[in-house]
Chain A
Amino acid sequence: MTRRDALLFVFVGLLILVTGFAQSWNSALYILNMGLISAILALGVNLQWGLAGLFNVGIMGFVALGGLAAVITSMPANAEEWSAGGFQVLAGLLLGAGTIIAAIMAYQRLPKGRTRGLTMVAILIGGFFLFRYVFDAGVEAVEAVNPASTGYLGGLGLPVLVAWPVGGLFAAGAAWIIGKTALGLRSDYLAIATLGIAEIIISVMKNEEWLSRGVKNVVGLPRPTGVPYEIDLQNSASFVEKAAGFGLDASTASTLYVKLGYSLLFTVVLVVLLWLAQKALNSPWGRMMRAIRDNEVAAEAMGKDVTARHLQIFILGSAICGIAGAMMTTLDGQLTPTSYQPLRYTFLIWVMVIVGGSGNNFGSVLGGFLIWFLWVQVEPMGLALMGLITSGMSDGYWLKDHLIESAAHMRLLTMGVVLLLVLRFSPRGLIPER
């Protein structure tokens, strides 16, 4: 890291501090926490794009899988739902998976020809109806139990911190399936495949109520150990006393304390991942990856298995996104599938990586913080700008109302402009690859 890079980081830190002084410490900590998560996401994407040149536009899907992992790991199991049809649902899923495996085996084992095609179709169609027969009844039974409050299978009841690596595993699993099919084809096909799988993951999470209540959301996820609940803090006399020592009232102090707890946890994760990513970048493995990225043909001629290495790094990068997704859901304390929007969870991360500097881990981290800060702050800035522009117009004039109402959409516009400006005038980003 050069002095210039360090200065850039200091600058972003100052931006957050200014937010704290000028607006509120609550929003400064919010920016910091989400900035930490964004930095981790950017780190994962940088691994794929910066190191290997893989174009993944399905980040949202991996983030959502991480969120799902948080629910499945940390929520208590719902015994009633399990006895109603939980095992039938599992049996249905196993049947479905078995069908696909059987079809793949038929494809690989049988000699090429019409028999093979017909057998595969027969297995798939038969398996599908069997799957639906077993699965649908189970789902109906599960969703009928207490639909207003639970109506889903629940989770394993483990501490939520366990969910973070589990989120990584979920995302890695999905990445393996996508990588197996789409890697090795052309670069844009991977992009389209990831775009599609992300939409599918979201629609599964919206619809399968037995899994995570779908659009009814799962709320009240447990907090990680070490992060207390605000209400407990406010009821503790010693905490109130200490807060008063800082000149804060109990409720503000408690929210700040909780947010700081998360910041600490997230920082630990970010530092560990950043250290690992730096190690990977500067290892022989990292150099091999960059060699493959820069010239696939030459690397292949040197005996490197390009597709296998691509699969490896694709899985690793996606796993990091999954971890970040689980962290985000932990921070929110709830899983809301409808909140996953591709512009926010996929393309914004891309802006972070490109602006920060693809191929440089510190650059991605910087980009994560900076772009997140902009994303949050552009809205009030846009509103202020619109206020200025429309100050000459009379109240109730249609253009004035329209402009002020639309200020919220300045965000996307700004992100696009930032991305295009960086791509044009500084294509290597703020902290370029070295």
Chain B
Amino acid sequence: MDFLNAIVALANFVIVPGMAYGAQLALGALGVTLIYGILRFSNFAHGDTMAMGTMFVILITWGFQSAGISFGPLPTALLALPFGIALTGLLLIGTDKMVYQFYRQRKVKPVVMVMVSLGVMFIMNGLTRFIIGPGDQRFADGERFIISAREFKAMTGLKEGLAIKTSQGLTVVTAVIVVAVLFWFLNRTRTGKSMRAYSDNEDLALLSGINPERVVLYTWLIVAALATVAGTLYGLDKSFKPFTYFQLLLPIFAAAIVGGLGNPLGAIAGGFVIAFSEVTVTYAFKKVANYVLPDALAPDGLAQLMSTDYKFAVSFSILIIVLLFKPTGLFKGKSV
């Protein structure tokens, strides 16, 4: 029984949150990795793109809520999501036409593109704060739990409860759907194939008549969808605050690099690697240890490897270790 309790405690505090966070990071990292593979630069504005996308969704959600439209037990934000994606897509394409296109045609060094993305980051960050403010925004509604700790205890008779929030379940389900659609698109459709060809070998792709501007256009649209979905899921699960989204840049980049920049499969793996290490290293294992170990061996302290404030340190250390021993990432990424 103690062993079961330990597993349930572990699932409640490590596995379920880790899965949800991992899915959110994976979606974010997919966006970064796609831009890197096709447009060939590290997009520092990605965190703020997520913030802006989420902001659109929040504004539309509020509109729906005040109009009395709801999505039953599911959060209204899901209804607003397509509109948010469309707006973010327009925004990114506009940014590309006004900013990035110029440098792309001049074939500047990737690092100049990164610098340009810093400028875009500033503007998006400023706009987000300008429109919705720098504070916390809550927009989750509908049922809070798929299964609450109390129900679980009553159901199983265990001492430990397992709570799964709607947002967590939703995150994983949505992420699976989005990733499945993305891979179907990249591997099966003509546009997707031309995108992969362009990413693998630009010159060859151009020679075979692929229109680069079209590829870029689709890339931004996909990135808009990924960023908005990732941002909205993160916002539903935790809460929306522009600065937090900016800070997400680090774990997202870590995930993309650990998996191998430019490799979509790697981005997903990287997201989960980073998420689970962050959650595991900063979780206090006292409870689990108390169940599993005999009383004499039970820890006095929290049995926490590191305090939660060091979660950045975790993603960063993993990043460094992978870079030192496998510079192109776990899956083979590309290097410019």
Contacts and interface: CB of A to CB of B under 8 A. Distances in A.
Interface in A312-368: 342-343, 347, 350-351, 354
B319 A417 contact: no
A128 B125 CA distance: 39
A413 B129 CA distance: 10
Interface residues of B, number: 50
A106 to B, nearest CB: 15
A424 B123 contact: no
B118 A419 contact: yes
Given A188-B42, A412-B126, A424-B102, A347 B118 contact: yes
A420 B133 contact: no
Given A196-B312, A196-B316, A420-B120, A185 B327 contact: yes
Output the residue of B115, B127, B133, B307 with the most chain A CB within 10 A.
B115
A199 B122 contact: no
B118 A410 contact: no
Nearest to A419: B119
Contacts of B249: 195
B298 interface: no
Interface stretch (A67-75, A200-208, A221-229): A200-208
Contacts of A413: 122-123, 126-127, 130
B111 A423 contact: no
Main DSSP-derived SS at the B contact region: helix
A416 B170 CA distance: 35
Contacts of A189: 257, 323
A193 B120 contact: no
Nearest to B116: A423
Interface string B90-130: 00000000010010000000111011101111111111011
Nearest to A54: B111
Given A196-B254, A199-B316, A354-B115, A411 B126 contact: yes
Interface string A176-212: 0000011001111101110111011001001100000
A409 interface: yes
B137 interface: no
Contacts of B336: 186
A413 B324 CA distance: 37
B145 interface: no
Contacts of B118: 347, 350, 419
A412 B129 contact: yes
Nearest to A181: B320
Main DSSP-derived SS at the A contact region: helix
Interface string A74-115: 000000000000000000000000000000000000000000
Contacts of B116: 420, 423
A412 B125 contact: yes
Interface in B237-254: 246-247, 249-250, 253-254
B122 A415 contact: yes
Interface in B322-336: 323-324, 327, 335-336
Interface in B275-305: 301, 305
Output the residue of A53, A347, A410 with the most chain B CB within 10 A.
A347
A53 B111 contact: yes
A97 B130 CA distance: 45
B278 to A, nearest CB: 13
B250 A199 contact: yes
A406 interface: yes
B213 interface: no
A55 interface: yes
B121 A416 contact: yes
Contacts of A406: 129-131, 133
Given A53-B111, A350-B115, A420 B309 contact: no
B214 to A, nearest CB: 24
Given A55-B114, A192-B319, A207 B126 contact: no
B186 to A, nearest CB: 23
A99 to B, nearest CB: 14
A419 B122 contact: yes
Contact of B313 (A200, A411, A424): A200
B315 interface: yes
A423 B119 CA distance: 9
A410 B111 contact: no
A417 B118 CA distance: 11
Contacts of A342: 246
Contacts of A192: 42, 250, 253-254, 257, 319
A191 B42 contact: yes
B184 interface: no
Contacts of A415: 122, 126
Contacts of A343: 122, 125, 246
Contacts of B319: 192-193, 196
B310 interface: yes
26 contacts: A136-B301, A181-B320, A182-B320, A187-B111, A193-B316, A193-B319, A196-B250, A196-B319, A200-B312, A203-B310, A203-B312, A207-B307, A342-B246, A343-B122, A350-B118, A406-B130, A406-B133, A410-B126, A410-B130, A412-B122, A413-B122, A413-B130, A416-B121, A416-B124, A419-B115, A423-B112
Q: What are the 3 A-B residue pairs with the smallest beta carbon separation, nearest first?
A: A416-B122, A413-B126, A412-B126
Interface of A: 53, 55, 57, 128, 136, 181-182, 185-189, 191-193, 195-197, 199-200, 203, 206-207, 342-343, 347, 350-351, 354, 405-406, 409-417, 419-420, 423-424, 427
Given A192-B42, A196-B316, 6 more contacts: A193-B323, A195-B253, A200-B313, A203-B309, A203-B313, A413-B127
